[in-house]
Amino acid sequence: MLAILLTLILGIGAIAWLSSSRWRKTLRRRRIKAKPFPKAWRSILKQRLPYFYALPTDLQLQLKRHIQVFIDEKDFVGCNGLTITDEIRVTIAAQACLLLLNRKTDFYPKLRQILVYPDAFIVNNQSQDASGVVWERRNVLAGESWEQGKVVLSWRNTLEGAADPHDGNNVVIHEFAHQLDQEDGHANGAPILQHREDYRTWSSVFSHAFAELEKAVSLGSPSLFSYYGATNPAEFFAVVTEVFFEKPEALYQQYPALYRELSHFYQLDPINWY
C-alpha cells in the first residue's frame, strides 16, 4: 500500500513539475516576444531576406516574434573559424521560422544547436553493400539535419538561398523541413499532421508525386523538383517544401493536390504573397 501511495505521489509530482515547466517556458516566450524587435535586426532582414516584405503585415510581425524566441533558445556555433554574428543568427532564424508561421509550435523542440560553416563542408559516411563490404564516402554538403538536436549549415549557401526567394532552392528551408519531419522520430516524409485522418490523403498525394519524380529521373525528363528529392520520401518532403515557399504558383499549377496538402500543413498560402 505504501509503495502504491509513494508511486502516486511521485506521479503527481512529475505531472506538476512538467506543467510548471511548460508554464515557465510559455511565460518566458511571452516576455521575449513583448520586447521591441532590435533596429539592427530589421536592417538585416531588409538586406538579406527580400521575401520578408512580400509577407502580409501580420505574418511579418509574427515572424519577427518567432525570430526573437528562436535566437534566445537555440545555440549557434561557428565552425572552421567562422565567428557567429547577429547577421548569421537573424538570417538563419528568419528562414527557419518561416515554416512555423500560423501553426501551434514548440520552436523545433528537439533542436539545440545550429552549426555554421563558412562554406560547404565535408561529411564522411559509411555504407555496407550486400556482400558485407563497408564503403566510406566523402560527401560535400551545404546542409544537414541531425536527429540528435543539431542542424549544420553552410553560411555561403544560406546567403545564396535567401538572396533569391524564387528559385526553389533554399538550404535552410530544406534542413528545417527535415527537423519538422524528425519531430516524431526518424524522418520519413510524413511530419506530425493535425488529424489522424490527414495521413491517408497525405500518403496518397505524396506517393503519387514522388513516383512522378522518380519516373522523371529515370527518363532524364525536366521536373519542377530537384532530382535529389527522388532519393527517398524524407528528401522529397524537404525538396517540395522549398518549392512550396519559393515557387508556389508553379507548384499549384502542376501539382494542385500537393500544394493543398502543404498549404494545409503549414497553414499558409504563399501563392498570394507575390
Annotated domain spans of the chain? 35-168, 188-274
**Nearest Cα residue to 66 out of 43, 90, 87:** 90
For the cut 50, the answer to whether the pLDDT of residue 134 exceeds it is no
pTM of the model: 0.86
For the cut 60, the answer to whether the pLDDT of residue 271 exceeds it is yes
For the cut 50, the answer to whether the pLDDT of residue 129 exceeds it is no
Mean pLDDT of 51-63: 94
CA 189 to chain CA centroid, Å, is 12
CATH classification code of 35-168: 1.10.472.150
Q: What pLDDT was estimated at residue 120?
A: 82
For the cut 70, the answer to whether the pLDDT of residue 139 exceeds it is no
E strands along 86-218, which residues?
113-117, 121-128, 134-141, 143-146, 150-154
CA 246 to chain CA centroid, Å, is 14
Q: What is the tens place of the pLDDT at every residue in 35-45?
A: 999 999 999 99
**Nearest Cα residue to 263 out of 207, 208, 205, 176:** 205
CATH classification code of 188-274: 3.40.390.10
